[in-house]
Amino acid sequence: MGHPGDTGIQGFRKSSRRSGKNQKELRETRLKKRLRAKLLKKRDSIPPEQKVLKEAEIEKRLFALDAFKKAKSLLLYVSFRSEVDTTGYLNDVIKLGKKLILPAVDSRHKELKLYEVRDTSELVPGYMGIPEPGVRENRRATLKEIDLVIIPGTGFDVKGNRLGYGGGYYDRLLSFESRQLANADHHIMTIALAFEEQIGEKIPAEPHDIKVDIIITDKRLIYCNYPGAK
C-alpha cells in the first residue's frame, strides 16, 4: 500500500513535467518567430532585378530535375509576396502534359484542400488574397495521386528542416500522421524552392514539422539527409 502522500507527489511530478514541456515549447515558438522575421526580412530585401535572375536559375534547376521530368502529377503553390515566383510557369507545367494540383486554404478547418487546375484562368483570389483554384468539387485531388510536392517556406537548413509561416498548413497536409499520406502507396518526394538567403545553419524542428527531400536555390541543389532523397 502506497504512502498517502505518494499520489500528491506523483501529481506534482507530472505537473512539473508538463510545465517543463510547455516552457520548452514556448521557447521554441519564440525562437521560430524571431528566426521567421529575420529570414522574411532577408527575402524581402532581395532587389527586384536580382530576384528575377535568381528565380530564373531556380526554375532552370527545377525543370532539369529528373524527379520533375518523371512526375505525371505534381502539387505546386501559387507564389505570394516575395516567395520564389511560380506564376510564370504554372501553365508550362500543364503544357508538358502533367496534372497540376494547387492548394486552396480552408481557414475554418485550418487545412489545405487540393484541386486539379487545367488553366491559370481558373484561379480566383483566396485566403489573404492568394490566388487559388476556383473549381468544382469534382476536381478535388488527394496526395495519393501526386508524384511530386513543391512547397514554399520562410527558411530551411541543409538537413531539410523547414520553417513555415506559423499556420502549420503544410505540416498537417504532409506529416506522417496525415490520413492522406497514410493512404499513399509510394513515397511522395517533397521539394522546396528557396533563395540562397533563406538557407540557415539550423532550423528548430518539432516532431510535427515536416522535412523536405530536396531544396532548390539559385545557387545549388541541396539533397537533404532524409529518406527518399536521391
pLDDT in tens, 218-227: 999 999 964 5
Name the band, by pLDDT with cuts 50, 70 and 90, for residue 113.
very high
Listed in sequence order, the DSSP H helices in 45-153 are: 48-64, 66-70, 90-95
Q: What's the pLDDT score for residue 209?
A: 78
Which fold, 6-223? Rossmann fold (3.40.50)
Ranges 67-71, 96-100, 104-108, 149-153: which has the least confidence: 104-108
Tell me the pLDDT band of 5, cut-offs 50, 70 and 90: low
- Write down the pLDDT at residue 51: 98
Residue 197 or 2, more confident: 197
d(CA 103, CA 117): 10
Quick check: 177 pLDDT over 50? no
Global pTM reads 0.83
Give the C-alpha separation, 226 to 214, whole Å: 9
N-terminal to C-terminal alpha carbon distance within the chain: 58
Tell me the domain boundaries of the chain: 6-223
